[in-house]
Amino acid sequence: MRRQSLGLMAGLIAALWAAPAAAAGCTLGTPGATVRVAIGDTGRSAMLHLPSGFSRARPAPLVMLLHGSGGTGKAMLESSKLATAADAHGFIVLAPNAGIPVEKGFVWNIPGVPSVTGKMPGAEDADDVTFLKGAIDWLAANRCIDRTRVYATGLSGGGRMSSWLGCVAADRFAAIAPVVGLRAGNPLATDRRVPDPATCQPSKPMPVIAFAGDADKTNPIQGGGAGYWQYTMATALGRWSDLDACRTGPAQRDIDEKRYEVRYAACREEAEVIGRITRGAGHVWVADNDAMWAFFAKYRRR
């Protein structure tokens, strides 16, 4: 009996020691507010928005928001209005700056593709994929996020970067949602109208929802635009459907009088590949944030 009592006491003491750490949970930021945070020991920062109903004891899904070429995370978060959707649906938003400085903003390092300055990223430039993976690890170590529910979206150059993450970091992201910048690998060196299969080989099926405007002159859905990236949105969607082994599609339907959708379905691991196009819209944030989250919410990493 005495041995049993001692065992119970030892267990109680251990529980008391463990309780404060377990109860503390995520201590970053302020629910309902956006703050700038330093990402671990990377020397880089990002804007962090915790949803208004965030429970520090319960890790939340994460949406990584990537700005366009020459932009900043702060400006992207403001213009996308994604914080409002985060408050409504309970996800965290992290909006970092890219690793290559340019004028008053930054450009993402996508290996093998020149930036808007025409310069090819080199060994001296920041490795943005490694940085973004590290940001996920840092948020998880701080008990803020659910690792199985991490998603990426971005505008223009950030759309290309979120596409790139789908190609090379499928083990970290449950789904992606590029905006006016869907890609499926770098363009083939000998024909920039098609993607190079060798540059996009995800380790698992990647659910994709992409948004664009049919009057976009910067990244036209009909192809063309910047000389270093010429293939069409339909080509990119088709390539993602091949990567995900989709068995049906493309099926097109009108969502409303302003928007229509192209969908591939019956893909491996229940993935889908969807393109949503807004008629008459240009090179702007055309994403329906609620529809984006509804798509994300269906998926988590296995």
CB 88 within 8 A of CB 59: no
Is there a domain that residue 50 lies in? yes
How many residues comprise the chain? 302
Question: In this predicted structure, what is the pLDDT of residue 9?
Answer: 38
pLDDT digits (tens, 9 = 90+) for 186-203: 999 899 899 999 999 999
pLDDT digits (tens, 9 = 90+) for 132-177: 999 999 999 999 999 999 999 999 999 999 999 999 999 999 999 9
Question: In this predicted structure, what is the pLDDT of residue 120?
Answer: 78
In this model, does residue 116 exceed pLDDT 90?
no
Is there a domain that residue 227 lies in? yes
In this model, does residue 296 exceed pLDDT 80?
yes
What is the value of pTM for the model shown?
0.91
Is there a domain that residue 301 lies in? no
**More confident site: 225 or 80:** 80
C-alpha to C-alpha distance for 41 and 246, rounded to whole angstroms? 41
Is there a domain that residue 156 lies in? yes
Question: In this predicted structure, what is the pLDDT of residue 260?
Answer: 98
The string of DSSP letters for 169-182 reads -TTT-SEEEEES--
Is there a domain that residue 32 lies in? yes
Question: In this predicted structure, what is the pLDDT of residue 109?
Answer: 94
Is there a domain that residue 215 lies in? yes
Name the nearest CA neighbour of 221 among 208, 165, 211: 211
Domain limits for position 103: 2-296
Other C-beta atoms closer than 10 Å to the C-beta of 26 total 21
Question: In this predicted structure, what is the pLDDT of residue 240?
Answer: 98
CATH number at residue 17: 3.40.50.1820
Is there a domain that residue 203 lies in? yes
**Number of domains forming the structure of the chain:** 1
Other C-beta atoms closer than 10 Å to the C-beta of 93 total 25
Is there a domain that residue 302 lies in? no
In this model, does residue 12 exceed pLDDT 50?
no
**For residue 247, what are the contacts with CB-CB under 8 A and spacing of at least 6?**
265, 266, 267
